[in-house]
Structure 1
Amino acid sequence: MSDSVLNDILQKLNQSGEIVSSAVVSTDGLPIAAALQTGVDEDRIGAMSAAMLSLGTRSAKEVLQGTLNHSIIHTDNGYMLLFQAADSILLTITTTRDAKLGLVLFEAKRALKDIARHFGE
């Protein structure tokens, strides 16, 4: 898949007003495409996303005896969300402080379909 298609998907996602940054990374933590706010390092986002996936997957299996759908970190400055977009592809999103989580999840679902389609899933 071309980087421009992924970048277009991420730019469209970021236009929602609730979302300030988004990135597509491999499950190994390698950045594939990113539309990040100024000062955010895509390598760091990739590494943190892989760590969140690992911890979330393990927690889902051992504590909830299920499979991970998505992870959400809520802070006083906004949310960070992690979704599995395809077999070895993750979508990471960061939001504004006052983001409406339902709207963010709706926009993410649309982007996830586009990303999965381009990765052949």
Structure 2
Amino acid sequence: MYVRNQSVTSILRELNASSEDIEASALVSMDGLLMASMLPPEFEHDRVAAMSAAMLALGTQTSMELNRGALDQILIRGQRGHVLLTRAGPETVLVVVTRPNAQLGTTFLDVRRGAEALSAAL
């Protein structure tokens, strides 16, 4: 894993600690490369990175095709929780995994702040 700035890992660690609802997070390049991770070991980190980048690319195309403007965030709601994909700069994506009963309003706020901090750190 290549991290240009060690503070990126610290930002992910702080994001995970900011809310009991946030279980894991990672920073991924638009090319699908894992830049930094606070994901549990049972996740296939490289696969998560590649799928996240692909999902953001498809979401971007869909948003533009439907005249919704530039894509900012994707929410995946599953039976065992949520996955948030949020732009964290022009070439990176913040991936956040939450609990199923997460308070999404405050989680969105925490994730937005984390994405802004990551963008500034890169």
TM-score when normalising by structure 2:
0.91
Gaps of 5+ in 1: none
- 1:35 has 2:38 as partner: yes
Q: 1:76-87, aligned counterparts within 5 Å? A: 76-87=79-90
Gapped runs of 5+ residues in structure 2? Answer: none
Residue aligned with 1:52, SS: helix
2:16 aligned with 1:14: yes
- SS of 2:119's equivalent? helix
CA RMSD of the aligned region, Å? 1.1
Q: Percent identity?
A: 35
> 2:61 pairs with 58, 61, 73, which one?
58
Could you say what secondary structure the match of 1:86 adopts?
coil
> Between Structure 1 and Structure 2, how many residues are aligned?
118
CA drift at 1:81:
0.6
State the 1:98 CA deviation. 0.7
Aligned pairs for 1:98-117 (under 5 A) are 98-117=101-120
Asked whether the equivalents of residues 32 and 53 of structure 2 are also in contact (C-alpha less than 8 Å), the reply is yes
Q: Which residue of 2 aligns with 1:47?
A: 50
Distance in 1 between residues matched to 2:27 and 2:72, nearest whole Å: 16
Moved more, 64-73 or 17-26: 64-73
Is residue 94 of structure 1 aligned with residue 97 of structure 2? yes
Cα distance, 1:110 vs structure 2: 1.1
The Cα shift of 1:65 comes to 3.9
The answer on whether the counterparts of 2:86 and 2:112 sit within 8 Å (CA) in structure 1 is no
Q: What per-residue deviation string (whole Å, max 9, x for no partner) do you get for residues 41-78 of structure 1?
A: 21011111111111100110112442211000001111
* SS of alignment partner, residue 50 of structure 1: helix
